[in-house]
Structures are given as C-alpha cells and as structure tokens.
C-alpha cells in the first residue's frame, strides 16, 4: 500500500516513543512509530494507521526544516516544519546576548526566519536592552516591542500580524515573559496542554517537553513552546562556517585575504577591519570568539 493512501496527521506532542498525532478534523490519537524509525518531533507530518484506539506511524513526510541544538553529548530537536522562530528578550532580567546569537545562528542554519520580541518595554531597563539589540536591528533582524503584562492589548496587536497563519517556535529563557505571552495569546492554554498530556497518557507530573498551541479555532496559526534554551549547543556547525551564519560577519568575508581566515589573528582580515570601523559590534565579536573556541574544542 502506498503511504499516500494513509491518513495524514500532525505530531503535536512527542514523549519518548509515544507521540500524539492530530487528524485534520482535530482528533488526537496516541501513536507509536513502527519499528526503529528516526525520532519524531513536534511539527512532523506523518502517515498513520489506526490500531484499536491508538495508532501506528508508518511514514514521516519530508521535513521542510528542523531546529535542533547539539552539545558534546547529544542532539535535541526543538521542532520541525517551522515558519518562524520568535526569541523573547527583556531588559530585566537582562537577556543573554550569547543565547540570542546562538538561536539566530541555529535558525539561520536551519533556514528558518527569526525575529525578536523585546518585552517589558514599560521598565526603565528596556533602554539598555534596546541598545544591546541595535547590532541585530542593523543586520536586519526585526525587533518587535512588547509589554505583554503592562500593555497586553497593544502587544497582542503588534504580534497578531506576525503570528497569524504561521507556525512559530517561541524561545525565551526563564523570566523573559514566555508564559505571559502564551497565556495572552492562547485561548485555554492550560486546557490545551492538559488535553495533550491526557492523550499521551502521561502521568500527571510528566510535563511534555515541547507544547503545541493553536492560536485560533480554525487552527491556522500555532505557537510551539519548547524548553531547553539555556544550553544551546551549536556543535552541528563547523567553526569555519560560523561567520557565514552571522550576517554582520558574512558581509565582511569578501575582504579577508585568506579564504580560510579564522578572523582571529590573520593579516588582511575583513572581519577585524569591519570591527575597527565599527560595522561589527564589539559584543558580537566577543561572542564569535567564544563560539569559535567552543566549536573548535576537541570532539569526543
Ligand atoms: N514589567 C513587566 N513585567 C512583565 C511583563 N511581562 C511579563 N512580566 C513579568 O515577568 C516575570 C516573568 O514572566 P513569565 O511570563 O512568568 O516568564 P517566563 O519567561 O515564562 O518565565 P518562567 O515562567 O520562569 O519560564 C513575571 O513576573 C511577569 O509578571 C511586562 O510586559 N512588563
Ligand atoms: Zn577574516
């Protein structure tokens, strides 16, 4: 039988070898992959067959993209088939520029557009955060100003046109306002999660690692909430590839005398010339050095 004849479903939760597949009419079925298939992730499109009141995933449709992080020990997938990644930042607590850069690089390598939500613009510390984001604006990353708690309606209006009809992964370290965002935008957020963990037959205390939330009843737009932003390993990237994934660096690469320039100590380096001219921010160069060393460290 050809796979096309089977039902098409969307993976809305993944927990070990259990996945919850949502049918086109919104029914949720606990499914297991047949055999030793590659790991399924939230956002995957699959072909499946009913088996009693559960199901068996027979086929994984080709992924448009896959966002993952990789440290020395393992690879962890965030989600697949994303339209965009939203990184939520704030001035208090002050966001980590290194984490932001890691997210931008990973999304860039996966071919997924990334934009930034600057939250808590009602606080004085927003001015510092805004200044820190200036190099990112300059290299073309869109920054949307938000005050999710202080000005929820204005924030909703700013977000709606960017989220409508799209699948967006939201990344944000603790304290940036990710829960506030989800509660503002997602009707019955807690119920949606509860329903999925019920379908997973996960214990009450098991929190699924990645959550899928529909933004509208027509199920056109969705938010994906994924933890694990704290240790965002980029081991999938070769040190020499790093600069090509940083747009402000990439713009200067043509000037380097050596094609395999590390932009650390070589003479005639276009990147360091751009740094000296103020076209690359010192903070970006420091993060580059940090990442370059991390990715150059011995692999086990
Ligand atoms: N001043 C101000 N505070 C906000 C705003 N949005 C969220 N906060 C506060 O920031 C804190 C963190 O918000 P959460 O939504 O819980 O953040 P989170 O990113 O989900 O953090 P965790 O729950 O720790 O993962 C809370 O005390 C919120 O009330 C805002 O627009 N302005
Ligand atoms: Zn160089």
Q: What does 63-76 look like in DSSP terms, one character per residue?
A: PS-EEEEE-SS-EE
The number of the ligand 1 atom at minimal distance from the alpha carbon of 155 is 31
Identify the DSSP state of 91: B
* First-last CA distance in the chain: 43
Put the strands of the sheet holding 222-225 in their side by side order: 143-145, 114-119, 84-90, 167-171, 222-225, 211-214
| pLDDT of the residue at 300 | 52
Our answer on whether the CB atom of 179 is closer than 6 Å to any ligand 1 atom is yes
| pLDDT of the residue at 192 | 72
C-alpha–C-alpha distance, residues 137 and 131, integer Å: 10
Phi, psi of 256 (to 5 degrees): -70, 135
| pLDDT of the residue at 209 | 74
| pLDDT of the residue at 299 | 63
| pLDDT of the residue at 2 | 72
Take residue 225 and report the two structure tokens written for it. 């909430």
Q: Which CATH class is domain 66-225?
A: alpha beta
Take residue 79 and report the two structure tokens written for it. 């989600």
Q: Summarize pLDDT for 53-63 with one digit per residue, the tens.
A: 999 999 999 99
| pLDDT of the residue at 246 | 98
Burial of 40 (0-12, 13-18, 19+ CB in 10 A): buried
- Where do the structural domains in the chain lie, given as residue ranges? 3-60, 66-225, 239-296
> Which parts of the chain have pLDDT scores under 70?
1, 37-38, 201-208, 228, 299-300
| pLDDT of the residue at 224 | 95
The number of the ligand 1 atom at minimal distance from the alpha carbon of 173 is 19
Our answer on whether the CB atom of 166 is closer than 6 Å to any ligand 1 atom is no
CATH assignment, 239-296: 1.10.40.50
Secondary structure of residue 179 in the 3-state scheme: helix
| pLDDT of the residue at 291 | 96
Q: What is the mean pLDDT of the chain?
A: 91
Q: What topology is assigned to 3-60 in CATH?
A: OB fold (Dihydrolipoamide Acetyltransferase, E2P) (2.40.50)
| Ligand (nearest to CA of 124) | 1
């Amino acid at each position: 039988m050809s796979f096309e004849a089977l039902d098409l479903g969307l993976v809305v939760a993944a927990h070990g070898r259990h996945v919850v597949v949502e049918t086109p009419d919104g029914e949720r079925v606990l499914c297991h992959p047949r055999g030793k298939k590659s790991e399924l992730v939230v956002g995957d499109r699959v072909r499946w067959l009913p088996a009693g009141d559960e199901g068996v995933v027979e086929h994984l449709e080709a992924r448009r993209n896959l966002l993952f992080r990789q440290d020395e020990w393992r690879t962890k997938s965030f989600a697949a088939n994303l339209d965009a990644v939203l990184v939520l930042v704030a001035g208090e607590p002050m966001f980590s520029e290194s984490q932001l850069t890691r997210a931008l690089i990973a999304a860039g390598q996966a071919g997924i557009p990334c934009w930034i939500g600057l939250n808590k613009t009602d606080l004085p510390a927003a001015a510092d955060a805004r200044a820190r984001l200036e190099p990112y604006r300059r290299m073309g990353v869109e920054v949307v100003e938000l005050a999710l708690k202080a000005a929820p309606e204005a924030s909703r209006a700013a977000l709606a046109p960017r989220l409508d009809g799209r699948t967006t992964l939201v990344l944000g370290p603790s304290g940036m306002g990710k829960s506030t965002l989800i509660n503002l935008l997602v009707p019955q957020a807690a119920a949606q999660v509860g329903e999925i963990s019920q379908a997973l037959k996960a214990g009450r205390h098991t929190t699924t690692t990645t959550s899928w939330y529909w933004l509208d009843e027509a199920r056109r737009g969705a938010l994906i909430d994924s933890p694990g932003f704290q240790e965002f390993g980029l081991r999938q990237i070769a040190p020499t590839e790093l600069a090509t994934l940083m747009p402000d660096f990439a713009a200067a690469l043509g000037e380097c005398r050596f094609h395999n320039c590390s932009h650390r100590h070589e003479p005639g380096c276009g990147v360091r010339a751009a740094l000296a001219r103020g076209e690359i921010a010192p903070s970006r160069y420091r993060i580059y050095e940090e990442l370059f060393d991390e990715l150059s460290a011995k692999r086990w």
